[in-house]
């Protein structure tokens, strides 16, 4: 286990502050062209954009997997750099839930998968058990703690994948296409869970109705630049903006009506 010191985020710092981030891949492909993005603590933001826009590249900068270009990324007041102890704390603060839950579940039982991250930070005994129970309760999977992940439904596995990240008590939860491959019931159940989590959320998605349901604010990234940043309902109501950036609403979906229904339902 590498050196690790758990430091609390600065109380007055945003969960995420990205300043002037630029990045090119070794083959010369420019992926990010001076991205600025601030996400205050507790806010829920959808990151939208066509394939190849730079969304994944940006996400991989948030926890130091990618680096080397210009600009800075700060998480809860801590700047991402290559120091090993700092990276360990950054990767605790930035919890990424991948699109395929099977990329995060590899141990014999659900509880062991959820315990893996905190145990690597040095938690043991009662403290570790409490952390696992807390995370599983948050996603409604406590009764499945002793089951093998491969015996769960896809939607249940996605919820366990969220729990593996929540067990680290992150500063910001980053979700990569959380609604993909879910049936309507699992999609609705996950939305209910995510709405109830007291954590800053950055959701990368092509599912525009899901963005409207879960995130008051949306950002469009295209060709490595942020080209729009505002209220989700307003962005989705701008048909020309969506068309320019290859984003499409489902046939017949009215974002204004959906927004009114969400407001009425609390």
Q: Pairing state of beta strands 200-204 and 30-39?
A: unpaired
Q: Which of 73, 69, 17 is nearest to 40 (CA)?
A: 17
Place of tokens 């989590």: 197
- Look at residue 30 in the predicted model and tell me its pLDDT: 94
- Look at residue 84 in the predicted model and tell me its pLDDT: 79
- Look at residue 5 in the predicted model and tell me its pLDDT: 42
Q: pLDDT digits over 189-222, tens only? A: 999 999 999 999 999 999 999 999 999 999 999 9
- Mean pLDDT computed over 49-63: 95
- Look at residue 9 in the predicted model and tell me its pLDDT: 67
By residue count, the chain amounts to: 266
Q: How far is CA 260 from CA 59, 254, 263, in A?
A: 31, 10, 5
3 state SS of 200: strand
Task: Provide the β-strand partners of residue 218.
Answer: 46, 230
1 vs 119 pLDDT, higher one: 119
Confidence band of 260 (pLDDT split at 50, 70, 90): confident
Confidence band of 7 (pLDDT split at 50, 70, 90): low
Residue 1 in this model has a pLDDT that exceeds 50: no
Confidence band of 2 (pLDDT split at 50, 70, 90): very low
The answer to whether the beta carbons of residues 94 and 69 sit under 8 Å apart is no
Residues 6+ positions from 95 with CB-CB distance below 8 Å? 165, 166, 168, 170, 172, 173, 174
- Look at residue 266 in the predicted model and tell me its pLDDT: 62
- Look at residue 10 in the predicted model and tell me its pLDDT: 67
Query: pTM of whole model > 0.85?
Result: yes
Please work out, in degrees rounded to the nearest 5, the angle formed at the alpha carbon of residue 52 by the alpha carbons of 47 and 56: 50
- Look at residue 6 in the predicted model and tell me its pLDDT: 52
Place of tokens 């290859």: 246
- Mean pLDDT computed over 64-80: 91
Among 2-6, 99-103, 161-165, top mean pLDDT goes to 161-165
- What does the mean pLDDT of the chain come to? 92
Buried b (16+ CB within 10 A) or exposed e, 85-99: ebbbbbbbbbbbbbb
State both tokens at 20. 């002037």
Q: How far is CA 140 from CA 155, 187, 192, 246, in A?
A: 12, 14, 10, 36
The answer to whether the beta carbons of residues 196 and 137 sit under 8 Å apart is no
Give the domains, in start order, of the chain with CATH numbers. 16-102+170-264 (3.40.50.300)
- Mean pLDDT computed over 5-17: 75
Q: pLDDT digits over 154-165, tens only? A: 999 999 999 999
Confidence band of 8 (pLDDT split at 50, 70, 90): low
Q: Judging by beta carbons within 10 Å of its beta carbon (0-12, 13-18, 19+), is residue 24 exposed, middle or buried?
A: middle
25 vs 261 pLDDT, higher one: 25
Q: pLDDT digits over 26-44, tens only? A: 999 999 999 999 999 999 9
Distance CA 238, CA 235 (A): 5
Helices (H) and strands (E) in the chain, counts: 10, 10
Q: pLDDT digits over 165-198, tens only? A: 999 999 999 999 999 999 999 999 999 999 999 9
């Amino acid at each position: 286990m590498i050196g690790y010191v758990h430091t609390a985020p600065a109380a007055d710092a945003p969960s995420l502050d990205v300043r002037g981030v630029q990045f090119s891949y070794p083959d010369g492909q420019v992926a990010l062209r001076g991205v600025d993005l601030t996400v205050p603590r507790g806010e829920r933001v959808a990151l939208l954009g066509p394939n190849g826009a730079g969304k994944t590249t940006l996400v991989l900068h948030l926890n130091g997997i990618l680096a080397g270009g210009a600009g800075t990324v700060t998480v809860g007041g801590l700047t991402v750099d290559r120091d090993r102890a700092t990276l360990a704390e950054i990767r605790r603060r930035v919890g990424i839930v991948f699109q395929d839950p099977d990329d995060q579940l590899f141990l014999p039982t659900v509880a062991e998968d959820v315990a893996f991250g905190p145990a690597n930070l040095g938690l043991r005994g009662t403290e570790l058990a409490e952390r696992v129970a807390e995370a599983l309760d948050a996603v409604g999977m406590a009764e499945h703690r002793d089951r093998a992940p491969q015996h769960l439904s896809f939607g249940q596995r996605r919820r366990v994948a969220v729990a593996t990240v929540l067990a680290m008590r992150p500063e910001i939860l980053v979700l990569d296409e959380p609604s993909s491959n879910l049936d309507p019931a699992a999609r609705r159940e996950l939305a209910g869970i995510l709405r109830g989590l007291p954590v800053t959320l950055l959701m990368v998605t092509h599912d525009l109705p899901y963005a409207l349901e879960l995130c008051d604010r949306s950002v469009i990234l295209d060709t490595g630049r942020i080209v729009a940043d505002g209220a989700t309902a307003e962005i989705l109501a701008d048909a020309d903006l969506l068309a320019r950036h290859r984003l499409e609403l489902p046939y017949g979906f009215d974002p204004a009506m959906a927004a009114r229904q969400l407001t009425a339902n609390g």
